Amino acid sequence: MSVNRREFLGAAAAACCLRAQEPAKTRLGLVRSSHNRLPRPVPPDHPLDADLVRDMVWKAIEYGSPAAGSLEAKIRPGSWVVVKPNIGGLRAAESWRPGDTTDFRVTRAVVEYLARKSGAKRITVAEGGTYRGLHDKAEDHVVTQNGRRVDANLFDWGSTDFPGFSGSLAGMLADFAARFPGKRFDYVDLSYDAVRDASGAFRKLPVPRSRNGVGAASNLSEYFVTNTIVNCDFLITVPVMKMHLQCGMTCCLKNYVGTGPREVYSVPGTFSNLKLHRDYSVGGRIDTFIADLAAFHPPDYCVIDGLRGLQEQEHSNHRDDQMIRSNLIVAGEDPVAADSLAATLIGHNPWDIDYLHHAARREMGTMDFRRIEVVGEEADRLRRPWEKPRNWFGRCNREWVTTLDLSAPAGAWKPHFSRVDALDLVEVAGASPKYAAAAVFRAEGGRKGYLWIGARGKVAVSLNGETVLREEAITKHRIGQYQVPVSLTAGENRVVFQVEPADGAATVSLLVTGPRNNGDTLEGLRWVPTRG
């Protein structure tokens, strides 16, 4: 085909316009302690000191510049800036070990950056964890040091757990106050900061709708939240990057669970957000309320402590090999992108992290790496397969078509988007002696993998027309209960379930894992939407 000059110029101009319309990539800074542009690069197994950590944090912030040009440019002069680390527990707890909480050297570096470079008027470190406040009359979860009652603010960490940082958070803030007299530095215990009405009673607030009209992800649409998170001008999430038993990983967005006021969400004898987990989980997942809590004030900026983290679970499993030192810092303004990168770094497939889908749906950010620019290190080279939680499984297929008439042509089957991992056919299609459901996915090339099938009922499952499982599933439904090795076709693959109810129940679920068969979705696999 020949193209004349006029056509070529026209096409080139159109391509330029198209390029101009593409959204700008979100930037993430990724810095390892060995990064050659640091003033003093050290190996990735170096214990670091406060200056090295500060250099890493600041370099990552420089690389992960927001659309405004720089972090300080994004903060309006006179702002109230809140820094939210993860201090879910204190060293006194049996479950604490290094890597469990955000490294105080990272928190300090962020606060110092804000103090030196931004026009922030008030800088608050805010957190709520499994420890009582000083004035709480309850007797459980009271922390003492040398016989003196302490909280996260007063807890004295000594000088060994975070080399280069010693003393308490309160001491650190007092030091900043002395050095930067024009600014206010304080600590807020979010556990006791619930929004109240005029009478003083706790007051729930509705989950704000996103610009694209997305509301609560959970079944309940109102939450108890804290004054600090709702009212501050600028919020920086500073989590530690680690595995999590329930949602796979905890990082920028999961850090919001610590913003749930425990004075409301705990039950007597405990000091966790038990009611939050109990009342706002959906389909056994906590991801819904993670996204909802973040919606009250999405992060304006993120700095991830990837120095040390815990594999296999979020708190100590008392194994010598649990803590992983990576000496990494990630920074950027897009929490979904930052968490997606963190997920990749610890060996997750970001598409398996359910709360990222909820947050992306709210346009809180992107998990599409084609729209993410990582500056500093090459992320692929730093990826390590951290041990995942036992019983881990990624986000299952949600895009289904169903029918009661198995002879109906595929195009006549009814699309259904499932909010949870399991598809309840009785709920979706009503009572019937037989059901069929299908899911379609694309695989990048002919791959080996495993179908992780959950089912309740007499079920026959086929992949691309070939029966791969027949099972009388009379026991309860469980994700990945039946694991079937399969060979996938490059391009589209179709899985069809035929189900007869057992004891009136007919449910199915489907995950496609890779050859490691570890609960991760096969790399590059994408479910084909059925919603039209």
Partner 1 sequence: MNATDQKPANESITAGATIDTTPRVGIVLSSFAGGEEHDGTHLPGLKEPCPADAELTSRHWAAMLAKAIELGSPRRRIVLPSMGGTSESLDWVLVVAAPRTDPDLVGALLDWLAERKAGKRITIAGIAGHPEIAGRAAARRPGVRVELLDLRTCERLKAPSPVRSYAARNVEGVYSLPRVFRACDRIFALAPLAVDSAMGVALSAASYLALAPPEEIRSSGTPDEVLTDIFAQHPADYAIAGGSWVYEAGGGRVRHNLVVAGARATAVDAVGASIMGFDPKNLDVLTRMERRGLGIHDPDEIWTRGNEIEQAALKVRKPEGWRE
Shortest approach of partner 1 to residue 474 CB, angstroms?
A: 5
From 147, 146, 151, 124, select the one nearest 135 (Cα to Cα).
Answer: 151
Which is nearer to partner 1, 34 or 145 (by Cβ)? 145
> Which amino acid, 191?
S
Q: Are 108 and 54 in contact (CB under 8 A)?
A: yes
Query: Least separation, in Å, of the C-beta of 132 and partner 1?
Result: 8
Task: Tell the smallest beta-carbon distance from residue 153 to partner 1 (Å).
Answer: 15
- At 486 the three-state DSSP class reads strand
**Residue 498 CB, nearest distance to partner 1 (Å)?**
19
* Amino acid symbol at 495: V
189 bridge partner residues: 127
**Which of 132, 358 has the CB closer to partner 1?**
132
CB of 479 to partner 1, least distance (A): 12
Q: Which helix (H) or strand (E) holds 335?
A: helix 335-345
Q: Which is nearer to partner 1, 116 or 516 (CB)?
A: 516
Q: What angle do CA 96, 102, 103 make, to 5 degrees?
A: 100
| Min CB(98)–partner 1 separation in Å | 7
Of 274 and 375, nearer to partner 1 (C-beta) is: 274
In this complex, which beta carbon is closest to partner 1, that of residue 197 or of residue 320?
Answer: 320
Helix axes 354-361, 335-345, angle to 10 degrees: 160
- Residue 206 or 515: the one with the smaller Cβ distance to partner 1 is 515
> Which residues 6+ apart lie within 8 Å of 500 measured at CB?
433, 434, 435, 457, 458, 459, 506
Rounded to the nearest 5°, which phi and psi values hold at 459?
-125, 140
Nearest approach, Cβ of 108 to partner 1 (angstroms)? 21
Binding site for partner 1 (CB under 8 A): 90-94, 97-98, 131, 139-146, 158, 268-271, 312, 316-320, 323, 387-388, 390, 392, 450, 474-476, 478, 480-483, 485, 515-519
Question: Cα(126)–Cα(232) distance, rounded to whole angstroms?
Answer: 11
Cβ 101 to partner 1 shortest distance, Å: 14
Other Cβ atoms less than 10 A from the Cβ of 200: the count is: 7
Shortest Å distance, C-beta 152 to partner 1: 12
CB contact set of 390 (below 8 Å; sequence gap of 6+): 312
Q: Which is nearer to partner 1, 234 or 271 (CB)?
A: 271
- Of 313 and 530, nearer to partner 1 (C-beta) is 313
Q: Which two tokens stand for residue 330?
A: 């990630």
**b/e map of 482-521 (b: 16 or more CB within 10 Å)?**
beeebebeeeebbbbbbbebbeebbbbbbbbbbeeeebbb
Least distance CB 252 / partner 1 (angstroms)? 26
Question: Which is nearer to partner 1, 29 or 519 (by Cβ)?
Answer: 519
When the beta carbons of 30 and 90 are compared against partner 1, the nearer one is 90
- Give 222's strand partners: 206
* Amino acid type, 82: V
Alpha helices in 169-280 (DSSP H): 169-179, 227-231, 262-265, 274-280
Task: For the beta carbon of residue 134, count every other beta carbon within 10 angstroms.
Answer: 14
Looking at beta carbons only, is 320 or 466 nearer to partner 1? 320
- Joined tokens for residue 149: 């009652």
* Amino acid (one-letter) located at 176: F
Q: How far is the CB of 78 from partner 1 (least distance, A)?
A: 39
For 383, the 3-state DSSP assignment is: coil
CA distance 113 to 60: 12
